[in-house]
Copies of this chain bind each other. A is one copy, B any other.
Amino acid sequence: MNYLNNIDVRTVKVLEQSEFPSKSQPKNKLIENAEELIRGLGLKDNAVVSFHHHLRNGDKVLNTIMKEIQRTGVKGLTLVASSLFPVHAEIIPLLQDGTIENIVTSYISGDLAKAISYGELKGNIIMQTHGGRARSILNGEIEIDVAFIASPSADKYGNISGVNGPNSCGTLGYVIADSIKAKTVVSVTDCLVDYPNYPADITEDYVDYVLLIDSIGRKEGIVSGTTKVTKDPIGLKIAKDTLKVMEATGLLKDGLSYQSGAGGISLAVTAFLRDYMIENNIKGSFASGGITGYLTNMLEEGLFSSLFDVQCFDLEAIESLKRNPNHIRMSASQYGNSEVSAVVDNLDIVILGATEIDTNFNVNVTTGADGVLMGGSGGHADTAAGSKVSIIVSKLFSSRIPLIKDRVDVITTPGTTVDVLVTERGICVNPLRTDLIEAFKKAKLDIIDIKDLKAYSESIMGKPEPIEKTDRIIGLSQYRDGRIIDYIYQVKK
């Protein structure tokens, strides 16, 4: 639209001196009572509310706010949470009474996940990727009415910093899209600081209200589960073999870009990679994703020039982000939005886990062996698609349950984007990657056909029993570009 085509300068209304504006006043955004805020927002039935998960299993904001919303009697909400953790089991009653009707998320675990798998959500659950979430918010596919931003610190005009405050969680990469697009943006903080709060992950111009509450959570809850190198000898063997695989790709050279998940084997791969880079005097370009202390150490050792951080996985990462100018904040869109160019598109290698993988290399990290929700893509499908080589590292069995199946329960990441599987019993290469098969043969790596590895696995443990499901579809696995790649079914109790 050409603005000037719509006005006639000769007849436009020009203010008289008596109509001139007075001096502006800072907007009063601070509210110290959650009930007052929620009532004031006037949420209507079927509204869409969003949350981020940088406090992970230490988050108290989602529970506090959702229970306050429940008290208003509003029904049919869609909850758009970047991830949901065991701590969020507190909102199960809100599924049962219809306060929450639909959930859109990228990861879900704990009793809330179980409740949904057993059919307690009236509507549906959409499992997105981290990049897909940003895409769907920024392109208007999902319209958020109110974004509630757990804020480790904020000033009363809404400058939010993730590195200041007792519950600092580091980067706020997952909530940037929400802050840009939500109709109303609320900073929820337990640490009100003097203006101006900086460095701000989200600046005051994006924020409508600042809600001061007693506690946004427990920082210790950020470190949940699997953020330490495995000590299991089988896991370590897989990690060592993975290093050989990486070497054989020819990508372990100056300029390497790298990402790994925070699982124990993935972190072991990172630890071996570090030794290899030091030994071979390799200077990498960047590492990305959720950042751990393993990567911040490698940054400080000069093994990577920079880190692109969408989420701090541990307290070392938070400290590094605060201190090191080469440790860079990254939004989820910059990380993995398929509608723009993103950091994942320039990744050389990504190391990922799997709960199940099938003979088409499709990976499931969304549901467990019992078909119950216990995870989700996060950046899994984003990085698998963007990287030059995506490598799945996993043991062949987990609690006697085989990894490889004819067809995974729920497809999280399409096999067309998964390149290599490394297990303790062999390395499988996706037949689509003839280039890698060639390279691995040259490097004298033993490659086994995934069907043969499955047969071996079944010869030991037998074929797994099929999961008992109802015929009710409770949700969808959404690919990063918005297309649907699988159904999610209700599980029989």
Contacts and interface: CB of A to CB of B under 8 A. Distances in A.
B205 A20 contact: no
Contact of A204 (B25, B255, B342, B384): B342
Task: Report which residue of A3, A124, A325, A330 has the largest number of chain B beta carbons within 10 angstroms of its beta carbon.
Answer: A3
A345 interface: yes
A485 interface: yes
Contacts of A485: 14-15, 20
A101 to B, nearest CB: 8
A455 interface: no
A341 B26 contact: yes
A4 B484 contact: no
A303 to B, nearest CB: 16
Interface string A201-220: 00111110000000000000
A306 interface: yes
Contacts of A341: 26-27, 29, 157-158, 204-205, 207
A414 B21 contact: yes
Nearest to A416: B20
A364 interface: no
Nearest to A345: B26
Interface string A146-169: 000000000001100000000000
A111 B334 CA distance: 42
A293 interface: no
Contact of A476 (B9, B180, B346): B9
17 contacts: A1-B143, A4-B101, A5-B46, A9-B474, A9-B476, A10-B473, A20-B415, A21-B481, A22-B417, A29-B341, A157-B346, A158-B341, A194-B285, A196-B343, A198-B328, A199-B328, A203-B331
